[in-house]
């Protein structure tokens, strides 16, 4: 089966996020008050062949831990669902 | 025979000739090592130089560490061979697991390109054998992701084992404990964000990097 995988990579708490800080600082000038906690991460999407959803989730988790994220500075949330027909 | 320093070249590396020129100015011989090859025969020491290996896509060093040459460098390091990663090369060595920690974005919002004063903290490393503890060296930095970080346990080990090789005198980028360079347990693998190869001639504003590059040659 084919599965669509979405990996949402975020900087861990306490890790410097200049892009998020810059966006947050710009918001009041644009009239958007009261917005806080802006953080910028990245998403990685791919399709993966696997026997079932559990195997796809396990392989995607391995890929994420070994390559797509650096666990010293990043966390990730992995979402797996069957690919559209 | 002159000591041969292999200088790894990835797509996007841009400091390889600076490293070769510095090595040759100190009486060594420089040899470029293409990342897709894996032959280190005849090489006495390795420099992983600065630049933007593989465009820094995903993260600096994340893709470079899978190159065949990095497998050869890891084996060379495991056999005790001296390896120094400079700037992007430091990032590659942390991603490859040859050095602990990671380089996050600078504390300020700026790419930094300026001289930095470094204090030599230990002479027991492949980069500092010819220096003296307490030496202050003016060496340029040139980076956006140079803010060294690691977990508390790793930092405690680095301190206890005397593995913080260089510290910034005036921390420019937010690095934890002012760290500019660290080494592995064997002390033969060193990573640093500053560029000693760009400070080997007074014409460039400082020759203070020469003692670090000479230490690498002496360690080979």
Question: For chain A, what are the domain ranges?
Answer: 2-82
**CB burial class (10 A; 0-12, 13-18, 19+) of residue B174?**
middle
pLDDT band at A30 (very low <50, low <70, confident <90, very high): very high
What percent of chain B stands above pLDDT 70?
A: 100
CATH number at residue B188: 3.40.50.880
Contacts of B149 in chain A (CB under 8 A): 15, 72-73
Whether B57 and chain A come into contact, CB under 8 Å, resolves to no
Task: Please judge whether B147 and A17 are an interchain contact, meaning their C-beta atoms are less than 8 angstroms apart.
Answer: no
Flag whether B27 is in a domain. yes
Encoding tokens for residue B124? 């027991």
pLDDT tens digits along B148-198: 999 999 999 999 999 999 999 999 999 999 999 999 999 999 999 999 999
Architecture of domain A2-82: 2-Layer Sandwich (3.30)
Q: What is the ipTM of this complex?
A: 0.85
Task: Indicate if the pLDDT at residue B109 is higher than 90.
Answer: no
Q: Cβ(A41)–Cβ(A10) under 8 Å?
A: yes
Flag whether B104 is in a domain. no
* Predicted pLDDT at A85: 63
The b-or-e profile of B76-94 (16+ CB within 10 A means b, else e) is: bbeeebbbbbbbbbbbbbb
Domain that holds residue B196: 4-99+109-219
| Spatial separation of the C-alpha atoms in residues B3 and B25, rounded to whole Å | 12
Contacts of A10 (CB under 8 A, 6+ apart): A39, A41, A74, A75, A76, A77
pLDDT tens digits along B9-28: 999 999 999 999 999 999 99
Query: Least CB-CB distance to B149: which of A18, A21, A72?
Result: A72
CA dist B55 to B14, B122, B127, B212, Å? 11, 33, 27, 28
* Predicted pLDDT at B112: 97
Distance from the Cα of B66 to chain A's closest Cα (Å) equals 10
Flag whether B187 is in a domain. yes
**CB burial class (10 A; 0-12, 13-18, 19+) of residue B167?**
middle
* Predicted pLDDT at A84: 80
CA dist B199 to A65, A70, B89, B114, B184, Å? 38, 31, 17, 12, 24
When divided into structural domains, chain B yields a total of: 1
């Amino acid at each position: 089966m084919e599965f669509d995988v979405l990996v949402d990579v975020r900087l861990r708490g306490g890790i410097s996020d200049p892009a998020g800080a810059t966006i947050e600082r710009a918001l009041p000038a644009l009239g958007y008050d009261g917005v806080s906690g802006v953080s910028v991460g990245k998403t990685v999407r791919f399709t993966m062949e696997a026997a079932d959803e559990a195997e796809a989730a396990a392989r995607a988790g391995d890929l994420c831990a070994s390559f797509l994220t650096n666990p010293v500075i990043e966390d990730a949330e992995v979402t797996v669902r069957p690919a559209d027909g | 025979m002159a000591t041969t320093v292999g200088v790894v070249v990835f797509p996007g590396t841009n400091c390889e000739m600076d490293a070769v020129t510095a090595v040759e100015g100190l009486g060594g011989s420089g040899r470029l090592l293409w990342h897709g090859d894996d032959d280190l025969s005849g090489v006495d020491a390795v420099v992983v130089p600065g630049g933007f290996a593989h465009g820094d896509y995903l993260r600096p060093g994340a893709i470079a560490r899978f190159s065949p040459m990095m497998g050869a460098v890891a084996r060379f390091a495991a056999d005790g061979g001296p390896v120094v990663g400079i700037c992007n090369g430091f990032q590659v060595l942390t991603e490859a697991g040859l050095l602990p920690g990671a380089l996050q974005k600078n504390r300020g919002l700026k790419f930094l390109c300026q001289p930095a004063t470094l204090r030599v903290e230990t002479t027991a490393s492949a980069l500092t054998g010819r220096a003296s503890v307490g030496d202050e060296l003016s060496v340029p930095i040139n980076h956006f992701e140079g803010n060294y970080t690691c977990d508390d346990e790793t930092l405690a080990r680095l301190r206890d084992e005397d593995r913080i090789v260089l510290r910034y005198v005036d921390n420019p980028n937010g690095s934890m404990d002012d760290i500019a360079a660290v080494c592995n347990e064997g002390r033969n693998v060193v990573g640093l964000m500053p560029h000693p190869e760009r400070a080997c001639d007074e014409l460039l504003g400082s020759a203070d990097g020469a003692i670090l590059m000479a230490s690498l040659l002496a360690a080979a």
